[in-house]
Structure 1
Amino acid sequence: MTLGCVAYIGPGGGVTVGALLVILIGGLVLFALGFIVWLRIKRFLRGQGKAKWGLKLVTQLVALTALLSVFGWMAQHRAKKDRDFGTLNSVVEALSGFPDMFKQSVEEVQTLPQTFVPTPADFAPVNRLEQDVLTLTAYSNAQDGRTIAVRNLRDGQELHRWTLPDTLGPLKPHWRVHHPILLEDTSVVSFITNRSPLFRLDAASNLVWRQDSLSFHHAINRAADGSLWVCAMRWERGGRHIAYRGRYRMGDRTVHFLDNSVARIDAGTGHILEVHSMAEMLMDNDLDHLILRSGDAQDPLHLNDVEPVLSSSDHMKQGDLFLSFRNLQCVIQFRPSTAEVMRVIDGPLAAQHDVDIVNDSTLVIFNNNVQENNGVYTNKAHKYPVSKDQVEVAHYHSQITRVDLGTGAFTPLLPALMAENGVMTASEGLQEALPGGRWFIEEQNSGELWVVGPEGVLYHDVHASHHDGHHHLPNWTRVLPAFP
């Protein structure tokens, strides 16, 4: 099921298109009534037939009162469900409920940030879980702050919560706390996505450290030595903003673009241990031509995951990083110790995200399977008619793609189930392996969470919020093997 579409109103305002229509209709009705009243008052003040106009006004008021009385009587009986007015039932119910709809829609536009997603009225959750599935998640709480929680999908219970302290500074409504990671002492590390700081909270939500020297985004994962690898961007020198750090020339044209970095952070102190520029990595390994593949000249790389190798094998060495680049449509195996690119994994991937190491020779990648511009034509100059003889290529859905590093084979897992259930997220999204060949899936854009396996769909639900009719937008949920 695909959840209702979302319109963006101002900074941080995510609202349903239905709400916008209700407000538009309500505004038109109020405008029309105001215009009619203004015309009549204008005529009266000009003295145009005051006596005749007064009699006409009284007649109209009597008729209006009678009409409202009949409507009120019908609405009362429809509320009690003790009378049937045939085809007028839907009209009476719609009109009587319109003020509440209008009020709710105005409140939605004014208050709800992008961190909440409309839940369709016909959404039917599924929960056939017989074993606990513990997740680490982050969401916007009722106090306009942010909460990180250990949540059991099986029963919806929260086993522990961390609340971001005020010392981290005021948060704008649409800012997201992203991809939290749990440490052994029940502290957590997370970050404000595409911003700073990266921070660590102890079990009681006290701030242990904060790191403000970089802008952090997308993913954070643990290395074998306990340090943390994070996707990052460097601040502009002397400022607190990112800038175009990359540059190349095509003939007489100079193109400036956003560079990405990976940073290794000391988990105990928050100190930066090393930073690697992705543009420099490509250039130093004679792979800079990959930048020209991207359809996004401003953001040609779009690093969205960093997965450290925890133990060595024939296909990888402890300390290597598997890096996912959405706009390069590939995953790169990078060795920070020597600054070498060991492998470019380039196959049937499209705008992919999360890359995970399954074993010493196998990866799984969340393949979003979307066109980079989401099917929007970039060439506006030419418009062609739709042919009567079309070639139907495919019906794409997001996939969990297994990659065999030994053979180079790409295999989609549970493709029929993914297609049948319409699992699709144009951006973000991830998978986590569970016992028994099962998978946790975060369908991020819609906010839907899944547990699927050979036996079918075991779990399909959303994280309900304190706003009626809306659920939380997930922020890269992490599956935990146990807690505490």
Structure 2
Amino acid sequence: MKKLRFAFILIAGLFFFTIIIASSVRNIYLSSDAGKGRLGFMANPIKFLAETPSLMKQIVAPPEFLFKNSKSKDGFTYFDEKTSHSYPSLLVGYKTEKYGSKFDLLDINTGKVLKNWSPDNETLFQQAFNDDNPRKPPSEQSDLYYLHPLMLKDSSLLITAQLTSLLAKIDVNNKVLWLKNDRTYHHSLELDEDGNVFSCTRPFESAQYDFLPTDYDLYKNTLVDDHITQLNPDTGDILFDKSVIAVLLENGYEKVLLGKGQITSDLTHLNDIQPALSSSEYWQKGDLLISCRNLSTVFLYRPSTNKILWLKTSPWYNQHDVDFYEQDKIVVFGNDDIREESKEIASVGNQNLFFSNKRSHNEVYVYNFVTDSISTPFTQLLKEEEISTLTSGRCDILSNGDIFVEDTNHGRIIIGDSIAKKIEYVKRHDKDNISSLYWSRIVN
């Protein structure tokens, strides 16, 4: 009986201890003073206790840039030996260790490495670290995760690391030609028709908007005010800069921003800017195709007149990557997952993202301006290959009609037609793991 009573007291004690710790942690994360007002000197020990399981998991688990895969062959695997098509080159970014980001330019047809870059990432991080950035990562615990490296004609690379304030240009020998850390540079990099570069950026402080609290200080450092930014690749000088929120408001699309009567700090989540390199009946050279993930919205924007020419929300969800296609179509890579954002403490990573029973994989949408219709010609391939990256993801329809898809979270690239894959690429790290990929690029 005494043992039973002791067990009951122990279980009850643990139960109430857990409740106390949980409520204390909630107070720490939600309060402006990190819980010190209520908990005093106990705030930091309680926070450490709550984070201990996560820290232990990080020690035991492989780094987050690795993906468990012991089956796929390193490099390219070819499944269609009959194909005679000559594929373009492929620029890939991957990681080998902390601060170990590298880039390879590959010949898809032979698997040969044509060029490679290995920048001094730790030095780049230290040079880019900016105390004025309110979202700066802790310098002693950070790493660099580049996205969408852009190779220029002289084989130099433009690289951004969106978890810190970094845009840099390195030459073919990894020498830093220039570096900027005046704002956050993130997601895609694309060349326009004049050889200038468009980047998604975030100033450290947002602009002031009348649909937000009257006290600007409440949100100026927390609202993610994404900008469409054009730069000179030779100098890094900004040539054009415009807030996406401002563009939508000035074109009468407040309902797109606030249609649910709900707001998050990351309202638009700009993740791709695609310049039109030639004119057609439906766009002009210099127009921009814009992707806003958190609005599941794509729009066609003319910077010269500050006009939105066309806008569509869904059927894609949380899309990444938009492209002009032929003379009258666009292509949208829809992640088609669901994002849950009602939690009191925002999660970091993929815990709040999931696929539904109705949509269990990514989708590639082709919108036709002539017929105002949408087709999904690669559904069978995407379903068969279980292409299902929760975040990121890229695609390009190639000149022979095949599609290139990066399944980012699973560290693989698939090239195939509407029915079956022809080529697969992974970057093997060891016998059990492959590297995640970071927005690979077709180079024609």
TM-score of Structure 1 vs Structure 2, range by shorter chain? 0.7 to 0.9
Native 8 Å contact 1:246 1:257 kept in 2: no
Aligned to 1:476: 439
The answer to whether 1:269 aligns with 2:225 is no
Shift of 1:230: 0.3
Shift of 1:278: 0.9
Aligned to 2:373: 409
The Cα RMSD (Å) is: 3.1
Shift of 1:468: 3.9
Aligned to 1:398: 362
Shift of 1:174: 3.9
Aligned to 2:188: 219
Match of 2:151 among 153, 176, 182: 182
The answer to whether 1:355 aligns with 2:305 is no
Match of 1:168 among 124, 146, 151: 124
SS at match of 1:213: coil
Native 8 Å contact 1:399 1:413 kept in 2: no
Aligned to 2:129: none
Shift of 1:153: 4.0
SS at match of 1:327: helix
In structure 1, C-alpha distance between the alignment counterparts of 2:106 and 2:399, rounded to whole Å? 18
Shift of 1:361: 0.9
SS at match of 1:289: helix
Native 8 Å contact 1:233 1:259 kept in 2: yes
Q: Could you give the per-residue CA deviations for residues 424-464 of structure 1, whole angstroms, max 9, x where no partner exists?
A: 11211010122321011001111121011146111234211
Shift of 1:221: 0.3
In structure 2, C-alpha distance between the alignment counterparts of 1:136 and 1:247, rounded to whole Å? 43
Native 8 Å contact 1:134 1:479 kept in 2: yes
Aligned to 2:256: 290
The answer to whether 1:456 aligns with 2:420 is yes
In structure 2, C-alpha distance between the alignment counterparts of 1:471 and 1:293, rounded to whole Å? 41
The answer to whether 1:158 aligns with 2:127 is no
Aligned to 1:114: 64
Shift of 1:144: 3.9
For the pair shown, which has the larger CA radius of gyration, 1 or 2?
1
What residue identity is the alignment partner of 1:233? R
Native 8 Å contact 2:321 2:332 kept in 1: yes
In structure 2, C-alpha distance between the alignment counterparts of 1:128 and 1:296, rounded to whole Å? 47
What residue identity is the alignment partner of 1:220? L
What residue identity is the alignment partner of 2:63? P
Aligned to 1:49: none
In structure 2, C-alpha distance between the alignment counterparts of 1:183 and 1:217, rounded to whole Å? 18
Shift of 1:358: 1.1
Shift of 1:208: 1.4
SS at match of 2:400: helix
Aligned to 2:179: 210
What residue identity is the alignment partner of 1:339? N
In structure 1, C-alpha distance between the alignment counterparts of 2:203 and 2:417, rounded to whole Å? 40
In structure 1, C-alpha distance between the alignment counterparts of 2:149 and 2:111, rounded to whole Å? 19
In structure 1, C-alpha distance between the alignment counterparts of 2:336 and 2:369, rounded to whole Å? 21
Aligned to 2:79: 128
Match of 2:403 among 408, 428, 439: 439
SS at match of 1:248: coil
Native 8 Å contact 2:381 2:418 kept in 1: no
Q: Could you give the per-residue CA deviations for residues 55-76 of structure 1, whole angstroms, max 9, x where no partner exists?
A: xxxxxxxxxxxxxxxxxxxxxx
What residue identity is the alignment partner of 1:116? L
Aligned to 2:387: 423
The answer to whether 1:326 aligns with 2:293 is yes
In structure 2, C-alpha distance between the alignment counterparts of 1:247 and 1:468, rounded to whole Å? 55
In structure 2, C-alpha distance between the alignment counterparts of 1:421 and 1:393, rounded to whole Å? 17
In structure 2, C-alpha distance between the alignment counterparts of 1:203 and 1:250, rounded to whole Å? 48
In structure 2, C-alpha distance between the alignment counterparts of 1:399 and 1:366, rounded to whole Å? 6
What residue identity is the alignment partner of 2:66? F
In structure 2, C-alpha distance between the alignment counterparts of 1:296 and 1:425, rounded to whole Å? 25
In structure 2, C-alpha distance between the alignment counterparts of 1:234 and 1:422, rounded to whole Å? 37
Shift of 1:297: 1.7
Native 8 Å contact 1:281 1:339 kept in 2: yes
In structure 2, the CA distance between the partners of 1:138 and 1:371, relative to structure 1 (3 Å rule), is same
Aligned to 2:348: none
In structure 1, C-alpha distance between the alignment counterparts of 2:320 and 2:285, rounded to whole Å? 22
Q: How many residues align?
A: 355
In structure 2, C-alpha distance between the alignment counterparts of 1:448 and 1:263, rounded to whole Å? 30
In structure 1, C-alpha distance between the alignment counterparts of 2:125 and 2:343, rounded to whole Å? 39
Q: Could you give the per-residue CA deviations for residues 141-175 of structure 1, whole angstroms, max 9, x where no partner exists?
A: 45843222202344443211112136524486642
In structure 2, C-alpha distance between the alignment counterparts of 1:377 and 1:142, rounded to whole Å? 34
In structure 1, C-alpha distance between the alignment counterparts of 2:407 and 2:208, rounded to whole Å? 32
Aligned to 1:230: 199
In structure 1, C-alpha distance between the alignment counterparts of 2:95 and 2:390, rounded to whole Å? 23
TM-score (norm. length: structure 1): 0.67
Native 8 Å contact 1:246 1:279 kept in 2: no
What residue identity is the alignment partner of 1:469? D
Match of 2:302 among 335, 342, 348: 335
Shift of 1:127: 2.1
**Unaligned segments of structure 1, at least 5 residues:** 1-105, 237-242, 381-391
What residue identity is the alignment partner of 2:255? H
In structure 2, the CA distance between the partners of 1:435 and 1:312, relative to structure 1 (3 Å rule), is closer
In structure 2, the CA distance between the partners of 1:167 and 1:345, relative to structure 1 (3 Å rule), is same
Shift of 1:260: 0.7
**Unaligned segments of structure 2, at least 5 residues:** 1-55, 127-138, 346-355
Native 8 Å contact 2:381 2:419 kept in 1: no
Native 8 Å contact 1:115 1:174 kept in 2: no
Native 8 Å contact 2:288 2:303 kept in 1: yes
Shift of 1:245: 5.9
In structure 1, C-alpha distance between the alignment counterparts of 2:226 and 2:171, rounded to whole Å? 29
What residue identity is the alignment partner of 1:145? G
In structure 1, C-alpha distance between the alignment counterparts of 2:324 and 2:297, rounded to whole Å? 16
SS at match of 1:257: coil
SS at match of 1:445: helix
Match of 1:195 among 164, 189, 199: 164
What residue identity is the alignment partner of 2:441? R
In structure 2, the CA distance between the partners of 1:327 and 1:315, relative to structure 1 (3 Å rule), is same
Native 8 Å contact 1:329 1:352 kept in 2: yes
